């Protein structure tokens, strides 16, 4: 059987014979739970989960209709819908402090509860929110404006390899046409602190859980979503302004309303 380069498997090695001492075992401080909020940042309050009036669709109906969508209509998402999607995919469901340490439980599982992902949004059509690049603050259930950039939808489209679902004559760039594009970055140290090299595997698994919850939440509000793993790593890191080493783009998902 022909083989591609499988160097990446080295990053998955994690055995009982493993000689690595993790930073947690060395007593180094626990990494931050969320990237800090820059001073004078523009913040947007989201609708808190206890006020949600949506998301009551039967789970069986959501699962039966689960599919990837690459065609969206022009309807904007409401602030409540966006709040729901963010909370369902990365939100906090419980927070406890013991001996001065805060433990945060989320709506998605994560290897060792490390939660190495940050959620960025390229907002194109959300009622009441100006278009731009935002980041979700799960601990505060707020959005922080990262940058306003009128070229952002085009840059995200190019960063995701100009994927389209139309014909050669009439390409439909579904990522640019989405109401919002979720762009997840990984901060590997949050997981490496506990798992050293095995973090590579756990981070990839975590990303899948996040996107799956987003499929479920989108299905519950009649929105369409498509997982996107094919993108230009360097271009997408540039879109977010991350260094590609301590933080890098790992997964994306355009979301928008679909004809009912």
Q: What secondary structure letter does DSSP report for 192?
A: H
Integer Cα distance of 159 and 96 in angstroms: 39
> Given the complex with ligand FMN, which of 142 and 163 has the nearer CB atom?
163
Q: Does 178 bind ligand FMN (CB under 6 A)?
A: no
Burial 46-77 (b: 16+ CB within 10 A, else e): bbebeebeebeeeeeebeeeeeebbebeeebb
- Within 99-128, the residues that bind ligand FMN by CB under 6 A are none
Q: How far is the CB of 15 from ligand FMN (least distance, A)?
A: 26
- Within 70-89, the residues that bind ligand FMN by CB under 6 A are 70
Q: Does 67 bind ligand FMN (CB under 6 A)?
A: yes
Q: How far is the CB of 226 from ligand FMN (least distance, A)?
A: 5
Q: Which two tokens stand for residue 65?
A: 């209709």
With CB atoms as reference, the residue minimizing the distance to ligand FMN is 229
Q: Does 68 bind ligand FMN (CB under 6 A)?
A: yes
Integer Cα distance of 120 and 251 in angstroms: 11
Q: How far is the CB of 207 from ligand FMN (least distance, A)?
A: 8
Among 39, 60, 230, 260, binds ligand FMN (CB under 6 A): 230
Binding range to ligand FMN, per CB under 6 A, among 36-44, 46-54, 62-70, 103-111: 62-70
111 C-beta neighbours (distance < 10 Å), count: 19
Binding range to ligand FMN, per CB under 6 A, among 16-24, 66-74, 78-86, 110-118: 66-74
Number of residues in contact with ligand FMN under rule CB under 6 A: 9
Q: How far is the CB of 47 from ligand FMN (least distance, A)?
A: 28
Q: Does 228 bind ligand FMN (CB under 6 A)?
A: yes
Closest-CA residue to 257 (of 83, 86, 75): 75
> Given the complex with ligand FMN, which of 23 and 232 has the nearer CB atom?
232
Residues 150/75, Cβ–Cβ less than 8 Å: no
Residues 52/150, Cβ–Cβ less than 8 Å: no
Among 41, 62, 227, 258, binds ligand FMN (CB under 6 A): 227
> Given the complex with ligand FMN, which of 46 and 214 has the nearer CB atom?
214
Q: Which two tokens stand for residue 124?
A: 């194109």
Q: How far is the CB of 212 from ligand FMN (least distance, A)?
A: 9
- Within 144-173, the residues that bind ligand FMN by CB under 6 A are 163
243 C-beta neighbours (distance < 10 Å), count: 9
Integer Cα distance of 32 and 194 in angstroms: 13
Cα R_g (the chain), whole angstroms: 19
Element (H, E) at 255: strand 248-257
Contacts to ligand FMN by CB under 6 A:
67-68, 70, 163, 226-230
């Amino acid at each position: 059987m022909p083989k591609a380069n499988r160097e990446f498997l080295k990053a998955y090695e994690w055995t009982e014979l493993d000689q690595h001492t993790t930073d947690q075992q060395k007593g180094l401080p626990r990494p931050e739970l969320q990237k800090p909020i820059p001073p004078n940042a523009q913040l947007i309050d989201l609708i808190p989960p206890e006020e949600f009036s949506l998301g009551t669709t039967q789970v069986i109906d959501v699962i039966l209709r689960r599919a990837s969508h690459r065609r969206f209509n022009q309807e904007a998402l409401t602030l409540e819908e966006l709040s729901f999607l963010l909370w369902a995919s990365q939100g906090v469901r419980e927070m406890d402090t013991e001996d001065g340490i805060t433990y945060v439980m989320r709506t998605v599982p994560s290897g060792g509860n490390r939660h190495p992902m940050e959620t960025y949004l390229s907002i194109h059509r959300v009622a009441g929110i100006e278009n731009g690049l935002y980041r979700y603050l799960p601990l505060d259930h707020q959005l922080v404006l990262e940058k306003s950039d009128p070229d952002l939808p085009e840059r995200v489209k190019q960063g995701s390899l100009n994927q389209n679902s139309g014909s050669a004559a009439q390409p439909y760039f579904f990522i640019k046409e989405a109401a919002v594009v979720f762009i997840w970055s990984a901060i590997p140290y949050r997981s490496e602190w506990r798992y050293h090299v095995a973090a590579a595997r756990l981070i990839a698994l975590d990303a899948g859980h996040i996107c799956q919850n987003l499929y479920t939440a989108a299905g519950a509000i009649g929105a369409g979503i498509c997982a996107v793993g094919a993108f230009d790593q360097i271009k997408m890191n540039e879109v977010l302004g991350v260094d590609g080493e301590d933080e890098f783009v790992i997964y994306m998902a355009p979301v928008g309303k679909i004809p009912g």
